[in-house]
């Protein structure tokens, strides 16, 4: 189709949609709804009041601050939403402490050349996550490109920022080599340009306690902030960000969101269609039908690893080997019921609410509305992660009685108590409220003490439910119409807690158990019907190998989705979107590749090897068996516990090796198998790399081999990198610390050493 035709089709689809939802999508600029009696909080003079006109430059945040009367702009560099949450928290705290109103901004949407025009009674706050090799997030790239320019020039022709006051908080993880590098780099640069930092630079470590790092940093920073900006504490106190209105009487049922993730998904689900119109991305995920799914571990009952395939045929979705897929889970039934019960909303679960932001520049409505109370808890807010100390301290004011208030205040303010009663047993927010009120945490929750927390405060306090990302484990050349995921199911025991008779509790990962539920329900709908109750996956009589999967306590989810939109013709659908990555093979098969991926780290390498298989098939079609003669070797270092237990895709690798005509070598470390090092310790992938150092080092140093590591960032990736450093250092006649580190740095700069790791 010609691009003009495409445009006409797109406009024809979008205009009716926007008209239909003109009142329900304030976040796309719809008419703000009237505030309604019963909602808490008075309407503040936020964005819109005093107005930013169409004629104004939308990329000029300084002009916007001026016009809207904001004294701070808070920029967040985020990939998965955490930095945005912290940015909003800082903006809210500026308001509640000092009555200061802020703009919360995505840096990608603004130009930074006017930083020199920020007067000294205002401040710019940066909240920045670090990724990759100490890189900024995608949405902070333009900011970094501009500010790091050697000859940076600001709007008034100068190249200094003497008037600028800034605050900086970094989000990172110490298991990565370049801890909080983004925040450090911007801090250094702003200082060099003459700007003044307020307080210390904050550095959060999400491997340990991001929340605690933030809490222990912010009070000192606010103290400095009040001095520098000459503002007094005791501003506006606990202010509402949203107005919530129950709208059952005024909204047509088909316009109510039941968990649909976009306006287009609502049109589709309300019309009983299978898929939303248009193109698919993080703003409009595609409910992908589940194709094949299977258990990859030869389970003895303790661990699961699910292979699941999402059908993308006919959607226009494309992907490349090395890309990630975002999976959008929902919250499990028990947590939804618990949250509704402790807020006294169980009876009103289907009541739709409209939500209006009182200050859209500070807090956008985090989900589409009108939506039912139940859908907010099931699909839109994160009620499944560990409750944060600040949220607990904040909610204490709404306690139903003095004893509960005292308990919550203690847990929210005393680090030790929080650690013992909340962090240790990994309590979720509704569990914390139950626990503080001395209610049972075990369903049913019919007698739960009701906490009179206004719903707008719930929306303002709890984070949005985020998608989880998986390294795609297929190649689009072999599998153009499906995206494969290899997900190890997260289940671990928490620390013991006094409230739980000094016993640990099982904690279940949200998304991986959602995926496991989908897999089990798909089995039940196919080969083994009967394991499914009302669109909920529970336990199932499972066939063959899978009969022994342990299902005790497995959380159940409403996987049939909003309005059962995710179940058609007995096939389940899961909302997904593709995220591009730079984790790629060299184009030429004549370049050697060394892949290191123990455990689920093997996921993208299955895609890489399939990619080379597809290329080999094509080459052989043209040139026969001889076609691969000058191909370079392909190494895959893989590790798991036992060959007969968790060897992922064990049956596939020999097939790939055959097709790759001996160019592919799979080198395996079975850490809990019979083979041990002479000292009795485990053999890991890095030991096998070391054994092959005489073969690998020349390939890297002379034949321009590419190296890839995927999987656990915390221990494995570091240990492998250390060993590579040693190997290259010694091959260069030097040491790991000097020559080895230098070689690895060079390889990284030349994109010949890439990592795809998580912790
Ligand atoms: C780029 C990228 C690629 C990824 N690729 C894959 C992949 O291919 N396959 C795969 O399986 N996963 C992959 N992951 C991980 C995946 O995104 C999820 O984080 C993982 O599946 C867990 O999600 P969940 O919702 O089940 O767990 P959540 O409910 O999100 O729980 C995870 C939380 O539990 C904590 N936690 C975990 N274990 C413990 C423990 N023992 N004690 C205390 N706390 C603990 C973690 O720190 C984390 O905060 C990838 C991650 C990234 C960033
Ligand atoms: N944050 C999350 O939500 C999340 C999700 C998934 C996985 N993870 C983490 O990612 C890691 C991998 O998980 P997985 O289930 O895919 O794999 P896994 O089965 O835990 O580990 C794969 C193999 O790597 C070995 N290994 C352990 N430590 C190593 C080290 N320092 N260097 C090299 N190899 C090492 C293991 O050996 P032994 O076990 O015998 O020592 C095993 O043989 C785990 O640490 C897990 O906790 C985190
Ligand atoms: C793939 C990946 C790479 C990361 N790389 C780094 C890094 O190089 N340095 C660092 O300090 N933290 C690193 N982190 C940790 C993130 O910065 C941290 O999890 C942060 O809270 C994410 O914030 P966000 O949710 O706003 O994107 C990495 C995390 C992931 C998942």
Residue 182, annotated as binding a ligand: no
Q: Which atom of ligand 1 is nearest to the CA of 756?
A: 1
1-37+243-273+330-466 matches 593-758 in fold: no
- Rounded-to-integer distance, Cα 185 and Cα 129, Å: 12
Whether 121 is catalytic is no
Ligand in nearest proximity to the CA of 491: 1
Q: Cα separation of 684 and 695, whole Å?
A: 18
Segments in the chain below pLDDT 50: 1-4, 6-50, 527-550
Q: Ligand 3 in contact with 134 (CB < 6 A)?
A: yes
| Residue nearest to ligand 1 atom 33, measured at CA | 509
Ligand lying closest to the C-alpha of residue 516: 1
Q: What residues contact 100, with CB distance under 8 A and at least 6 apart? A: 71, 72, 94, 229, 231, 235
Candidate from 332, 600, 758, 759 with most ligand 1 atoms within 8 A of CB, to mutate: 758
Q: Whose CA is nearest to atom 6 of ligand 1?
A: 470
Output the pLDDT for position 52.
59
DSSP alpha helix (H) spans, 159-283: 181-192, 210-229, 263-270
Tens-place pLDDT, residues 218-235: 999 999 999 999 998 875
pLDDT reported for residue 553: 77
Do residues 186 and 202 make contact, with C-beta atoms less than 8 angstroms apart?
Answer: no
Find out whether 141 is annotated in a ligand binding site: no
Going from the Cα of 469 to the center of ligand 3, the distance in angstroms, rounded, reads 13
The CA distance from 460 to 347, in Å, is 23
| 3 state SS of 8 | helix
Distance 759 CA to ligand 1 centre (A): 7
pLDDT at 19: 42
Asked if residue 361 lies in contact with residue 68, where contact means CB atoms within 8 angstroms, the answer is yes
Q: Is 217 a catalytic residue?
A: no
CATH of 593-758, one of 3.60.15.10, 3.40.50.80, 1.10.3720.10, 3.40.50.970: 3.40.50.80
CATH number given to 1-37+243-273+330-466:
1.20.990.10
> In angstroms, what is the span from residue 181 Cα to ligand 3's centroid?
10
Which ligand is the nearest neighbour of the Cα of 512?
1
Q: Which of the residues 24, 269, 471, 473 is marked catalytic?
A: 471
pLDDT of residue 51: 57
The pTM (predicted TM-score) of the whole model is 0.87
Q: Which two tokens stand for residue 561?
A: 């989705």
Query: Between vectors from CA 399 to CA 395 and to CA 403, what angle results, nearest 5°?
Result: 125
pLDDT of residue 29: 31
Superfamily of domain 305-329+475-579: Translation factors (2.40.30.10)
137 three-class SS? coil
- Six-digit token pair at 230? 């000459």
- Candidate from 487, 580, 583, 757 with most ligand 1 atoms within 8 A of CB, to mutate: 487
Q: What is the pLDDT of residue 726?
A: 97
Which tens digits make up the pLDDT trace of 630-675? Answer: 999 999 999 999 999 999 999 999 999 999 999 999 999 999 999 9
Residue ranges per structural domain of the chain: 1-37+243-273+330-466, 70-229, 305-329+475-579, 593-758
CA distance 758 to 175: 9
Structural contact between residues 473 and 323, judged by C-beta atoms closer than 8 angstroms: no
Neighbouring-strand partners of residue 493 = 506
Q: What fold is seen in the domain 70-229?
A: Rossmann fold (3.40.50)
Q: DSSP state, 35?
A: P
Give the HSE-up count for residue 484: Cα atoms under 13 Å, Cβ half-sphere.
28
Q: Confirm whether 710 is a catalytic residue.
A: yes
């Amino acid at each position: 189709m010609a691009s003009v035709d495409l445009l006409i089709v797109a406009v024809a689809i979008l205009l009716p949609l926007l008209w239909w939802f003109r009142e329900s999508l304030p976040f796309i600029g719809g008419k703000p709804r009237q505030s309604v009696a019963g909602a808490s909080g008075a309407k503040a003079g936020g964005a819109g009041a005093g107005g930013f006109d169409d004629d104004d430059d939308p990329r000029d945040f300084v002009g916007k601050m001026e016009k809207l009367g904001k004294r701070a702009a808070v920029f967040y560099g985020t990939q998965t939403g955490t930095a945005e949450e912290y940015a909003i928290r800082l903006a809210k705290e500026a308001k509640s402490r000092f009555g200061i109103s802020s703009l919360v901004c995505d840096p990608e949407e603004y130009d930074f050349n006017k930083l020199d025009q920020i007067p000294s009674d205002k401040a710019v706050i940066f909240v920045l996550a670090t990724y990759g090799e100490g890189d900024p997030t995608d949405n902070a790239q333009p900011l970094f490109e501009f500010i790091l320019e050697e000859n940076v020039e600001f709007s008034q022709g100068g190249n200094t920022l003497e008037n600028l006051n800034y605050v900086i908080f970094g989000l990172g993880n110490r298991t990565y080599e370049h801890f909080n590098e983004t925040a450090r780099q911007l801090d250094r640069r702003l200082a060099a340009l003459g700007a003044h930092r307020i307080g210390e630079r904050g550095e959060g470590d999400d491997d340990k306690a991001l929340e605690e790092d933030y809490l222990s940093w912010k009070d000192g920073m606010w103290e400095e902030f009040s001095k520098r900006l000459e503002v007094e504490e005791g501003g506006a106190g606990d202010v509402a960000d949203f107005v919530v209105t129950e709208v059952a009487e005024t909204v047509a049922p088909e316009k109510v969101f039941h968990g649909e993730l976009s306006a287009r998904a609502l049109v589709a689900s309300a019309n009983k269609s299978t898929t939303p119109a248009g193109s698919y991305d993080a703003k409009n995920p595609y409910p992908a039908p589940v194709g094949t799914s299977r258990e990859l571990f030869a389970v003895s009952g303790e661990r699961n690893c699910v292979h699941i395939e999402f059908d993308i045929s006919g959607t226009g979705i494309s992907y490349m080997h090395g890309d990630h897929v975002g999976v959008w889970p929902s919250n499990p039934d028990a947590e939804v019921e618990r949250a509704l019960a402790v807020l006294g909303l169980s009876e009103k679960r289907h009541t739709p609410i409209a939500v209006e932001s009182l200050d859209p520049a500070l807090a956008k409505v985090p989900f589409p509305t009108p939506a039912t109370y139940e859908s907010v808890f099931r699909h839109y807010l994160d009620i499944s992660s560990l409750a944060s100390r600040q949220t607990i301290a904040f909610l204490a004011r709404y306690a139903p009685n003095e004893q509960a208030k005292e308990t919550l205040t203690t847990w929210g303010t005393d680090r030790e108590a929080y650690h013992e009663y909340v962090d240790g047993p990994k309590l979720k927010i509704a569990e914390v409220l139950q626990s503080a009120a001395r209610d049972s945490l075990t369903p049913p929750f019919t007698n739960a003490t009701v906490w009179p927390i206004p719903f707008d405060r719930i929306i303002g306090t709890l984070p949005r439910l985020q998608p989880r990302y998986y390294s795609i484990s297929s190649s689009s050349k072999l599998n153009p119409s499906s995206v494969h995921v290899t997900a190890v199911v997260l289940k671990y025991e928490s620390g013991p807690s006094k409230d739980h008779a000094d016993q640990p509790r099982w904690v279940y990962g949200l998304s991986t158990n959602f995926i496991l539920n989908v897999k089990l329900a798909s089995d039940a709908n196919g080969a083994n019907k009967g394991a499914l109750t009302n669109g909920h996956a529970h336990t199932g009589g499972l066939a063959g190998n899978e009969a022994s999967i342990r299902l005790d306590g497995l959380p159940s989810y409403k996987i049939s989705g909003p309005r059962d939109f995710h179940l058609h013709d007995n096939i389940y659908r899961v909302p997904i979107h593709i995220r591009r990555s730079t984790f790629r093979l060299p184009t030429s098969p004549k370049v050697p590749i060394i892949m290191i991926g123990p455990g689920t780290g093997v996921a993208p390498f299955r895609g890489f090897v399939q990619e080379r298989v597809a290329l080999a098939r094509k080459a052989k079609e043209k040139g026969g068996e001889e076609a691969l003669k000058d191909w370079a070797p392909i190494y895959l270092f893989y590790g798991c516990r036992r060959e007969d237990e968790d060897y992922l895709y064990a049956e596939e690798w020999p097939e790939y090796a055959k097709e790759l005509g001996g160019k592919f070598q799979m080198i395996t470390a079975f850490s809990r198998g019979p083979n041990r090092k002479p000292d009795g310790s485990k053999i890991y992938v890095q030991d096998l790399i070391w054994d092959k150092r005489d073969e690998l080092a020349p390939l890297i140093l002379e034949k321009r081999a590419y190296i890839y590591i995927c999987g656990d960032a915390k221990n494995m990736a570091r240990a492998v990198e250390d060993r590579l450093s040693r190997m290259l250092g010694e091959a260069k006649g030097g040491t790991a610390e000097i020559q080895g580190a230098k070689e690895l740095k060079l390889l990284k700069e030349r994109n010949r050493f890439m990592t795809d790791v998580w912790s």
